[in-house]
Amino acid sequence: MKMQWIECNACGADSFQSLSKMGDWNIGKCTKCGLIYLNPAPFFEPTSEFSNISKGFQYTRYMHEKITHTIFEYERAQLKKQQSVIAGLTGQTFTSINYLEVGCGSGASVKAATDLGWQATGFDLDPELINEGIEQHGADLRCTPLLQGGFEADKYHYVRLRDVIEHLPNPYDSLVEIKRILRPGGISLIVAPNEKALINQIRYLLGFKKKMVAYAEPPHHIHGFTPDTLRRILERAGFKILAMKTTTPVDSEYVTSNNMRSASRPDLVAIWKAARIFGMGNFVVAWVQKP
């Protein structure tokens, strides 16, 4: 694992202010735009070492579970909903979709897209998850960093980053690469934890030390975005923003099937829905287009 000092990916400033230390990790923010991130940041490689590290991450353990028929059904239904959103935002109705899933894990969503007739590819840094996915369903999965993936320019209609951008040490460069490989007019969906969610704001108002980045202890998440900082980085990368909102951890249109386990907690769901009304939902959702 390589450690490297980074500039703010949202605004490009080298203006990092440390907020707290968690073990060897330094959590801070950009004093110019407020983006939360680790500095120096870890640059993981697609190795067995990373597979072992990732098993300790808070929100990735479930990915090693067997992919069930119910999960495939959930992923297919979500992709159909998102296809309808794309049609509503752009008027585009594709007869065939070239689709890329960034940070696909074991690739249930890639298999689901293939089942829908899409030309679907997924990639992830974790070789164990990629191998498990190929063994279970045989979809087109690759183990590579995005910037070294060799993906063809102007190819994809739809590129999705669901719970991914917060893991990246270089989200700005990654977004520029995504814009390169999208077709003109192509769409990307970014879903990320919201640093400005109501639950986080209450925690800090009560004086709790900043121990997490986007709901997870480092180094699982490297960046913590708000609607403002996500908008800034997307515009900096040259995207046209079609829609942006916050939502709940149990919004089946955008979150993983694992998140839906929390739907059995009506008390929490009520709080999350109330926070969403005020733009302080737990997740930020952004639909963007390559001009």
Rg (CA), the chain: 18
Average pLDDT, rounded, for the chain: 95
Q: How confident is the model at residue 60 (pLDDT cuts 50, 70, 90)?
A: confident
Residue 239 burial (CB count, 10 A): 24
69 burial (CB, 10 Å; 0-12 / 13-18 / 19+) is: exposed
Do 244 and 284 contact (CB within 8 A), yes or no? Answer: yes
pTM above 0.75, yes or no: yes
Give residue 93's pLDDT: 86
User: Which residues 6+ apart lie within 8 Å of 17 measured at CB?
Assistant: 28, 29, 30, 31
DSSP state of 249: T
Q: Is the pLDDT of residue 209 over 90?
A: no
End-to-end CA distance of the chain: 36
Q: Please report which confidence band the pLDDT of residue 180 belongs to, taking 50, 70 and 90 as the band edges.
A: very high
250 three-state secondary structure? coil
What distance in Å separates the CA atoms of residue 105 and residue 54, rounded to the nearest whole number?
11
Concatenated DSSP letters for 98-115? Answer: EEEEET-TT-HHHHHHHH
Residue 207: pLDDT above 80?
no
**Per-domain boundaries in the chain:** 47-289
Please, are residues 96 and 191 in contact by the beta-carbon 8 Å criterion? no
H or E stretch including 242?
Answer: strand 240-247
The domain 47-289 having CATH identifier 3.30.565.10: the answer here is no
Tell me the average pLDDT across 173-179.
Answer: 98
What is d(CA 25, CA 38) in angstroms, rounded to the nearest whole number?
A: 7
CB distance 190 to 161 below 8 Å: yes
The conformational region for residue 150 under phi > 0 = left, psi -120 to 50 = alpha, else beta, is: left
- Determine how many CB atoms are found less than 10 A away from the CB of residue 224: 26
Rounded mean pLDDT of 254-260? 95
Cis preceding linkage at 42, omega within 30: no
Sheet order of strands, 156-162 included: 141-143, 119-124, 98-102, 156-162, 182-193, 283-289, 240-247
Residue type, 210: K
Q: Give every CB contact of residue 208 below 8 A, 6+ residues apart in sequence.
A: none
Q: Give the span between the Cα atoms of 171 and 177, in whole angstroms.
A: 10
Round to whole Å and give the CA distance between 285 and 35.
Answer: 17
What single-letter DSSP state applies at residue 43? Answer: E
Lowest mean pLDDT among 97-101, 213-217, 246-250, 276-280: 213-217
Tokens coding 91 = 């008027």
Average pLDDT over residues 137-145: 98
Between CA 29 and CA 157 the distance in angstroms is: 34
